[in-house]
Structure 1
């Protein structure tokens, strides 16, 4: 089945933090959103989240037609999905629950619509296993919060049609996201695995008394983290190779790096390590609540994203280069 119809109406299944953030993102791009969730206060909480996120989205830049008035809430999932061109699912991370839910979504959504899951770890082959039309089921995993962080990991299951993946990639790029395609299914996908790999070494260094929790955080956010916000580690090594670039790096620096890999730690997660990290984090946070820290982070992320968008615009101006970008009014 070809998946080529325009996506003008998105259904959000599950309106917790991730689902609400997705709803705000789609509304900001001028798309009609129909949300559904069985929780008693779901609609109230959803609209509150969208209202609070709208200022951030205005700072990033709204697309023509963007409006919170395009949001509709329908408690009955079957009714909500009846006219959807694209479904973004955001339900709890329980495989058995997801399998049943996806079978129900598959039965209710138009057969030419795509069904994407925000699942952070469950593979699409599992979720599509009881669907009559598994060819349109895939994962579109965002990074939190989706209305700010551009990355989306797109991965299909064993029965997902290549055309469905292609349309999902094109759609996410068209609304200002940065989609990457995973060619194999992995638990945790890619972004979370990269985070886990880094944090394993952070935990090891803390457990060995090399540095404090706060200094470990600073070592990342004020060092390589700043570079990683500009370009990824492989391209960074191209710069690290000097005039010879990546070829010089591979010839002269890759073997020493491989030697360092052998010394990386595999910490034992003991009660003592948990207490050390917990105490360090609470000391670092001080009197700032989780909500306050999240607001501070989001404000900086929006500012950095705006800076990056404008900087790239300047670098590509007059070059004829085309790139996906956040639409602005």
Structure 2
């Protein structure tokens, strides 16, 4: 396939929470952004989101030219993607909708532009089924909110070209993200599966009356969550092994952990358990709105990322910007 074009203009297809957050990130990185969504009131909601999120995005550092003024909007999808160098799709998670939408985007976009999907659960092999140029389609799944959380999971479909995966990885890294390459497709990708496994055990412990909802959140966020904010589990186990490192951990502590796997729960998610969790979460929220809690989260995440940037030079660069040559 041909080399991908330098990225100056990004198209956002679908401007719900994820799409709006992506738009904020691309604007902060200094790109021209054209967004499209057929929903009533979509443009007003998008611009409101960008305005409210801009302070958090700016706190991480703006690229030269980064400005919300570079955002344009149209309800005409084909017009939105016609001159895009990179497309980030964020439509609802319905396979039939994604397949048709990707075929339409593929038909309307220059053949040397990458088309990425934020899909959290549908594989690219399914999504690219009706594309005429499936080789340039790829999953670029972010973690919410994309304008703050660096992680992007990159995985191709059966007909995605290796150059597209390399180009997407290079592009995301150049704009301040932390891309990881999934070498195999699987529903839910990786990060959501990891947090689903953790949440299953949290729900089991709440269901068994071991602890209430608020304490279960504290058990994660004030314990392992703090450590996971700076290092992943494998490297942390390396530290847990002391002077012997990971090998000592595997020899002495891993057998006990493996034995404990058999004791982990598989809760039955009954209406009563759902009600118990909902009631506990609302009590924990203590009257604060979703927007207020999200603002608190984003402020603390920005501070944590600033600390990581200070101490981890190998991490993503918050001030990276355009133009970007794919695959460079």
**1:328 CA drift (Å):** 6.7
The 5 A counterparts of 1:200-279 are 200-279=200-279
After TM superposition, give the deviation of residue 242 of structure 1 in Å: 0.4
Q: Does 1:289 align with 2:289?
A: yes
- Which whole-Å deviations, capped at 9, do the CAs of 1:151-199 have from their partners, x for residues lacking one? 0011100100010000000000000000011111111111111111001
Question: Do residues 119 (structure 1) and 132 (structure 2) align?
Answer: no
For residues 328 and 150 of structure 1, the distance between their equivalents in structure 2, rounded to whole angstroms, comes to 12
Contact 1:2-1:163 within 8 A present in 2 as well? no
CA RMSD across the alignment: 1.3
Would you identify which runs of 4 or more consecutive aligned residues in structure 1 move more than 4 Å?
Answer: none
1:272 to 1:323, Cα distance in 2 relative to 1, 3 A: closer
Change (3 A) 1:119 1:77: same
Q: Is the 8 A contact 1:154 1:179 kept in 2?
A: yes
Please name the residue that 2:3 is paired with: 3
Q: Alpha-carbon deviation of 1:66?
A: 0.9
Equivalent residue number for residue 70 of structure 2:
70
1:126-137 to structure 2, matched below 5 A, reads 126-137=126-137
Of the structure 1 ranges 87-96 and 295-304, higher mean CA displacement relative to structure 2 is found in: 295-304
Rounded Cα–Cα distance in structure 2 between residues aligned with 1:168 and 1:327: 18
Structure 2 unmatched runs, 5+: 322-328
Show the counterpart of 1:325.
317
How far has the Cα of 1:324 moved from its partner? Answer: 3.8
The answer for the alignment partner of 1:153 in structure 2 is 153
Change in 2 beyond 3 A, CA 1:245/1:2 = farther
> Do 2:150 and 2:316's aligned partners in 1 also have CA atoms closer than 8 Å?
no
CA contact (8 A) 1:3 1:113 kept: no
Secondary structure in 2 aligned to 1:173?
helix
Deviation of the 1:39 alpha carbon:
1.8
Q: Secondary structure at the match of 2:7?
A: coil
Residues matched between the structures, number = 321
Following the alignment from structure 1 to structure 2, what is the Cα–Cα distance between the partners of residues 46 and 283? 30
Give the aligned partner of residue 165 of structure 1.
165
Shift of 1:311: 2.5
**Could you tell me whether the CA contact under 8 Å between 1:213 and 1:280 is conserved in 2?**
yes
Question: Does the CA-based 8 Å contact 2:60-2:319 persist in structure 1?
Answer: no
Q: 1:182-229: per-residue Cα shift (whole Å, max 9, x none)?
A: 111111111111111001101111111111111111100000000000
1:83 aligns with 2:83: yes
Q: Structure 1 unaligned segments of length 5 or more: list them.
A: 314-321
- Give the TM-score, by structure 1 length: 0.95
Q: CA deviation at 1:312?
A: 2.2
Match of 1:312 in 2: 312
